[in-house]
Amino acid sequence: MYQKIVHIALVVRDYDEAITFYTEKLNFILVEDTRLSESKRWVLVAPPGEGSCALLLAKAANGVQLSSVGNQTGGRVFLFLHTDDIDRDYKSYLQQGVVFVRQPVVEDWGKVAVFEDLYGNLWDLIQPAKQ
């Protein structure tokens, strides 16, 4: 049997501002941007690296969805981004204006910092400990 998660929907306020944040501040790759209708696009962004799950940037289409922008997990960390060099990425993200709510700390399992995306969703930036 074979299965894997390939996309995770992230509700956003605006396609273009979300694309700009992920590609210019986090150095993600714009995988696809296809217009489906006047108001809907299929937008995928992903971190560099083979086998990465892509984020489907889904523009909020109604009031309920709009109220979820930035709070898809009720204030908990939403996504977990692994890196091979947390110090490099931490410095780069700070230079790009990314807001960190927890500075890098060393844990038994690796080094971790917590940052906010452009809407306030929390992310763990993790450099796993070498095994």
**Numbered ranges of CATH 3.10.180.10 in the chain:** 1-69, 73-131
**DSSP labels for 74-92?**
TTSEEEEEE-S-HHHHHHH
- Residue pair 74/27 in contact (Cβ under 8 Å)? The answer is no
- pLDDT tens across the length of the chain (131 residues): 999 999 999 999 999 999 999 999 999 999 999 999 999 999 999 999 888 899 999 999 999 999 999 999 999 999 999 999 999 999 999 999 999 999 999 999 999 999 999 999 999 999 999 86
| Architecture of the structural domain at 1-69 | Roll (3.10)
- pTM for the model stands at 0.93
Architecture of the domain whose range is 73-131: Roll (3.10)
